[in-house]
Structure 1
Amino acid sequence: MTPGARVQAAIEILDEILAGQAAEKTLTNWGRRSRFAGSKDRAAVRDHVYQALRCRRSYAALGGTETGRGVMIGACRDQGIDPADLFTGQGHAPTPLSESEQAHVGTFESDAEKNDIPEWLWPMFARSLGAQTEDVAQALRARASVHLRVNLLKGDRDAAISRLQHEGISTEPHEASPTALVVTEGARRVKNAESYLSGFVELQDAASQAVVNALPLQNTPRVLDYCSGGGGKALAIAALRDGTVYAHDADPRRMRDIPERAARAGADITCLDTAELSKSAPFDLVLCDAPCSGSGSWRRDPEGKWRLTQDALDEIVALQSKILDDAAQLVADGGVLAFATCSMLDVENHKQTQDFLARHTGWEHLSERAWHVHTGTDGFYVSVFQRAG
């Protein structure tokens, strides 16, 4: 495929996404009906689509319309490329620019539009991030780095760096966590690498690893990952301590890969369904990596930025509060409750901490910490409480 043909493919895919289709499903369907596209073509088209979704508002303003064509015209202008060089109508490239498209001078009507944040969310986003607001918003417009967690049950970080280098994957330590690596070359090879397939390394953002490092894991024989999902944090916890780690999720289907992942990693993880929780309680430490807006991972899931509404956010906040209240009942006297989100919105983070302490007596607030995307990780937050006794 020519560069212009790749842009045309992205335009067609974006039109379907803007009409309401899910990005992954649309890309998969395009790939199935485009057997002529090689692996490099597919990767390039995918990159076009996801970058356009990250920057949907600003690209539409620069391109003149919120359509696949308008967004891709805006993408060219944002990147300093003359759209006329790609919109030629030749070799399956998009048709040449019309006079109105050529004459359009893109201007931004608000800070939210310039920074690719939904208009309704911008005031809350700015209040949450203060002086860092524009730096964070601009960082969300770029692709996220690929981070790995070194599994200390298999070896140390230096050994992982050496192993990966022999597999054509260059990495370097990430300062957010002692187990974190950032991939500098060969990211697309990771999932087929022996180091990954054998459980020596796992894909996990450095801030997600740092959340685990912030937990007081000493003298906690019984640890529960309460909102476990696929088990990433349960695996990270298991690599840092002796003894069984328990995992639970309200939807057990989300945990279906944990036994295989744990076996590969050499970790001891026991999955519990909801009926088994009360029988297994109390726990010395309960981690609630709660459902959230996902604002800290919008570089990886840019659709989430545009799907979020005020009503949906209100429902998420209410659910987080219920999860905290329910999880608190599972903590032993003198035990620890940790609350984490991959969000950068205060209403999901510090305010949840304040509200929990207002609802519950007999708890001490030990610590809280936040990571933001402009410092080289996903956005994360963790708050740690201890029950009296």
Structure 2
Amino acid sequence: MEYLADKADNPTLTQQQKLQELLVYLSQRSPFYKDLFARHEVDIDAIRSVDDLRLLPVTTKDDLQRQNDDFLCIPRNEVAEYMSTSGTLGSPVTIALSENDLKRLAYNEYNSFVCADGSKDDVYQLMLTLDRQFMAGIAYYSGIRMLGASVVRLGPGVPALQWETIKRLKPTAIVAVPSFILKLIQFARETGIDINSTSVKKAICIGENIRNTDFSLNILGKKITDAWDIPLYSTYASTEMQTAFTECGQGRGGHYQPDLMIVELLDENNDPVGPNIPGEVTITTLGVEGMPLLRYKTGDICMYFDEPCACGNESLRLSSIIGRKKQMIKFKGTTLYPPALFDLLNEREEILDFVIEVYSNDVGLDEVLLYVVPAEETEECDHQIRAYLQARLRVSPHIKYVTAEQIQKIQFTEATRKPIKFIDKRA
């Protein structure tokens, strides 16, 4: 609880003060930012407010991938743990955390679970990996422990074991990828489990969208709640930001934690966008010692909402991810983002599971291949799937039908920490 004590001792430490402290810290300790400030002739004393951030250059994922070690601001003997990104937008990068960074990470998730109506009386079943340098797993675990609640560390997959453990240990909440919750529901149907009579009363959904940008449940979210009468709480975070946006019970966007991070949504010219306008989520970490980031562009496209939430929290909220900048697909004159394709594919009962693969054709244009597990291997099922996609997309992607076993091998490789639904093989 040391991080909480530190905060209580400094109630007047404003976001602006933390930004000024960060700039001094980076100018003294970060090889990357020392060089960046010198090349751009940055005078950190001229940055007197959060609004002045726009005077500073941005940092990109490419910077972090190319010069990973240059972001380290502490001696290696002060690194408490090394974690890494999943490599969704390129090769993975390592994020080094100090002991205080781990405490900050726990505090971040403590706030998140409190926001998601958690209490010390809850028992959380974690249906995700806690190994393979996965920050989210250790963050959830540490946050739940700070909350004083109980944890069941079961790991990902194996619906039969998940249900056996639910029956035996009676968790009140699960933390899981939404598409895996659908597999839990399917297993329950096939084996006669009455899911609405179990101990589970809520689900913290990670890694996939469950809402549209107007806060309504998307197809994936509806499929879960149509079968299982429990509230869903959406979360959004990344390894680099070491901070999460989590929904409250109102389900109207992920709440911002301004004491831990400064967030900007930027347009193509790196200028801030207004509320309800899509922009690239750009973050400045506050209170991070190991590898702090300044105006780091995440590649995620979201919108923000600044009207107060009905829960009483007046900080801004983020929408679900509209798309990732580098994952935008230009297919036969149509612009597509993977989340929109996920919604279309999740909507059809004829499609049991899928993976989207994008590659470049011989003239450098985007092509889309869908690996699909069909409900039935019949011409009628094939016709229904193709007609649906043509009607909704107005273009026809390539389709390759595979078995459930084959799709598992595509979605889960040795290095995978969560199911892969999108594969980008473009040059």
Same fold (TM over 0.5): no
Normalising to structure 1: TM-score of the pair?
0.23
Normalising to structure 2: TM-score of the pair?
0.22
